[in-house]
Amino acid sequence: MTDSKTGFDGFPFYDAVVIGSGPAGLSAALAAAESGASVLLCERLRTFGLKLLASGGGKCNVSNILDPTSFMEAFGREGRFMKPALDCAYHDWLFSFLKQQNVSLKLENKFHYFPVSEQARDILNAFANAFRHFGGTMKNETEITNIIVNDGKISSVKSNDEKMTECKSVILAAGGTAWPKLGGCSKGLELAKSLGHTVNPLYPAMAPILIRNQWVRDLTGISLPDAGISFRRGRTIFQNRGELLFTHEGLSGPCAIDLAGALAETCARNDDDTELILQLDASLDSAAWRKKIDSMRNQDGRKLVRTLLSRHFPHALADAVCRLAGCYDDKICELTSSFRDRLCTLLSGVSLCAYGAGPMEKAMAMKGGIKLKEVNPATLESRLVKGLFFAGEILDLVGPCGGYNIQWALSSGRLAGLSAARMSISEN
Ligand SMILES: Cc1cc2nc3c(=O)[nH]c(=O)nc-3n(C[C@H](O)[C@H](O)[C@H](O)COP(=O)(O)OP(=O)(O)OC[C@H]3O[C@@H](n4cnc5c(N)ncnc54)[C@H](O)[C@@H]3O)c2cc1C
């Protein structure tokens, strides 16, 4: 809408101040400006939307094909919190907005949406240009260091240059602590804490899983197209299936990184390592392996077990499995029936010792954050401070890899921006 006016105390005044220029902040700022609010967006870094620019390897996996119900389920038990934001703004809104801005999307692997240009910058520019078009102001290198509340209501913010800005609402879209080189920090969480909000414990998510077993680390560089991982926390079983990569610290690839947050939390809660079961080929259970092994035995009885297994897995992995099973130098015809049973049990689920995930420096997202019970899902306004709204990764919700977190940031940003504008303008 407009440039800033002057507030009661003689400082610049905006209806809404947005903290953070990631997808959540950009979407919130645009929604509020579009609704007629005067909006200032502040980013502490020199570059706006640095993490967004790096997302999806610079191509930005902006969303995926899931319907809202399946989308929420992927965020776990708390996923229902997202419903009002997804009802307010999901695919229809996002796709038509991007189309208006001349950003076309394409589908990859029949699941992930990317801009056709494969440039994350196009997504950033679409939001930033539209925001400026509605009169919004963007300031980089401006860190908000204090949010000031009077009589339970937001009244102003203070920035690192000691300047005050008066406002009716603040949208805290300051992201999480993951990947600090791309802007991850705890500054937004600290601001929320200073206003009485609870920050649930933080863990690295969308990150490699750390494994103690040396034989796993020795397989660095090997990948499996369809592996399975599972572990338990009490009665809950966490499991995933997909491409897996062995690394010098443990396991990576989509199959592993999607479980990282839950695993890190499990290790921390138990203050101990967690047993993780690795299925080297998720399509084969123990009985299927037994059939396969018996047929190998019938056809190639005089061959070494590891030679036969290397038809199914990379050599080094076949060798490692045979070493673990204790049949490295054995021909398949030499294995007794009970030994073959044990080998099949191992092939269908090797027990590993996991000691966490991360580090946060290499995590694509953070698990944990602002306690959801303290935020009204219908508006994303704080239940503790009038005029304070939240959006994006700062809230205690994290999805797996695959366009979930950016879509959530954009949807929650939109709801927070519309709600903040409604509140601020109704009070003018
Ligand atoms: C390498 C990488 C690749 C990824 N790829 C994908 C992908 O393809 N698809 C997907 O869905 N997700 C992806 N993610 C996750 C996704 O990028 C994040 O979940 C998303 O950016 C979160 O958006 P946000 O707006 O909440 O926070 P952010 O994008 O983190 O933005 C928050 C901003 O707030 C600023 N800030 C913090 N405190 C203050 C303050 N006090 N004052 C002013 N500014 C402040 C920060 O500097 C930051 O720029 C990826 C993450 C990484 C690290």
Nearest CA to ligand 1 atom 30: 175
Note whether 79 and 186 are same-domain residues.
Answer: yes
Q: Are 202 and 366 in contact (CB under 8 A)?
A: yes
- From 324, 357, 390, the end of a domain falls on 357
Rounded to the nearest 5 degrees, what angle is found at the Cα of 48, between the Cα atoms of 42 and 54? 140
Q: How far apart are CA 263 and CA 21, in angstroms?
A: 30
The DSSP H or E segment spanning 39 is: strand 39-42
Rg (the chain; Cα; Å): 25
Note whether 178 and 221 are same-domain residues.
Answer: no
Q: How far apart are CA 48 and CA 42, in angstroms?
A: 9
Is the preceding omega at residue 359 within 30 degrees of 0, hence cis?
Answer: yes
Note whether 66 and 169 are same-domain residues.
Answer: yes
Ligand 1 site-directed mutation target among 45, 55, 91, 112, most atoms within 8 Å of CB: 55
- pLDDT score, position 242: 96
Note whether 91 and 178 are same-domain residues.
Answer: yes
Maximum Cα–Cα distance across the chain: 90
- Which atom of ligand 1 is the closest one to the Cα of 191? 41
Joined together, the tokens standing for residue 225 give 């197209």
* Four-point Cα dihedral 340, 346, 348, 354, nearest 10: 180
Nearest CA to ligand 1 atom 19: 405
Instruction: Give residue 57 CA to ligand 1 midpoint distance, Å.
Output: 14
Ligand 1 site-directed mutation target among 121, 139, 172, 405, most atoms within 8 Å of CB: 405
Which residues lie with the beta carbon below 6 Å from any ligand 1 atom? 19-25, 42-45, 50-52, 54-56, 60-61, 143-144, 173-175, 178-179, 182-183, 185, 187-188, 364-365, 392-394, 403-406, 409
Which sign does the torsion angle of CA 97, 99, 102, 108 carry?
positive
CATH assignment at residue 242: 2.40.30
CATH assignment at residue 320: 1.10.8.260
Q: How far apart are CA 412 and CA 351, in angstroms?
A: 39
Q: How confident is the model over 270-320, as pLDDT tens digits?
A: 999 999 999 999 999 999 999 999 999 999 999 999 999 999 999 999 999
Note whether 41 and 138 are same-domain residues.
Answer: yes
Contacts of 144 (CB under 8 A, 6+ apart): 17, 19, 42, 44, 157, 158, 159, 170, 191
The DSSP H or E segment spanning 269 is: helix 260-270
Nearest CA to ligand 1 atom 20: 406
Nearest CA to ligand 1 atom 41: 144
Q: What are phi and psi of 380, to 5 degrees?
A: 65, 20
Instruction: Give residue 375 CA to ligand 1 midpoint distance, Å.
Output: 20
Note whether 104 and 251 are same-domain residues.
Answer: no
CATH assignment at residue 151: 3.50.50.60
Instruction: Give residue 401 CA to ligand 1 midpoint distance, Å.
Output: 14
Note whether 199 and 214 are same-domain residues.
Answer: no
Q: Which regions of the chain are under pLDDT 50?
A: 2
Note whether 262 and 182 are same-domain residues.
Answer: no
- pLDDT score, position 4: 67
| pTM of the entire predicted model | 0.95
Specify the number of domains making up the chain: 3
Note whether 266 and 299 are same-domain residues.
Answer: no
Looking from the CA of 360 toward its CB, the CA atoms found within 13 Å total: 13
Note whether 141 and 258 are same-domain residues.
Answer: no
Q: How far apart are CA 12 and CA 3, in angstroms?
A: 9
Note whether 166 and 80 are same-domain residues.
Answer: yes
Note whether 59 and 120 are same-domain residues.
Answer: yes
Domain that holds residue 389: 5-203+366-426
